[in-house]
Amino acid sequence: MVTSRQAYLASRLIEKYGIIGRVASRYVTAGYSVRVLYPTRYGPVHVVALKHGTTLAIDIATGSISVEIAKNILEKSKLLRAKPVLVIYGRSVVVPEDVKTFCDENGIKLRRILGE
């Protein structure tokens, strides 16, 4: 069940950040507190989600996906001591087999959000 505060925050995130806000709003409605575009020395993490001592470092891929993208989120998550999550946004984005195996070997969760 979504509270009115969560619904408000979700709609503001979508309005302000677009695709990144759509992903962040899903975590807000699931009960996480989120920070968007959290800076690290390897570049910003799109979403950092916190809930009950669990920290997730979430990066969003909308175009072609390579092992470099997965390595990047892995390095960012190590800096934050967080669990890495790679969100694939869109129906037409194809995940190559080498990226899937790299993510499985290194504990990176792959999530797909179909979008609009």
Structure confidence by residue, pLDDT tens digits, 96-113: 999 999 999 999 999 999
- CATH domain 33-113 topology: Trna Endonuclease; Chain: A, domain 1 (3.40.1350)
Range from 13-17, 72-76, 85-89, 112-116 carrying the lowest mean pLDDT: 112-116
Query: Two tokens at 77?
Result: 């998550």
pTM above 0.85, yes or no: yes
| Cα–Cα distance for residue pair 64/9, rounded to 1 Å | 30
pLDDT digits (tens, 9 = 90+) for 9-22: 999 999 999 999 99
Task: Provide the residue ranges of all domains of the chain, joining segments of one domain with +.
Answer: 33-113
Task: Kindly report the backbone phi and psi dihedral angles of residue 16, in degrees, each rounded to the nearest multiple of 5, phi listed first.
Answer: -85, -40
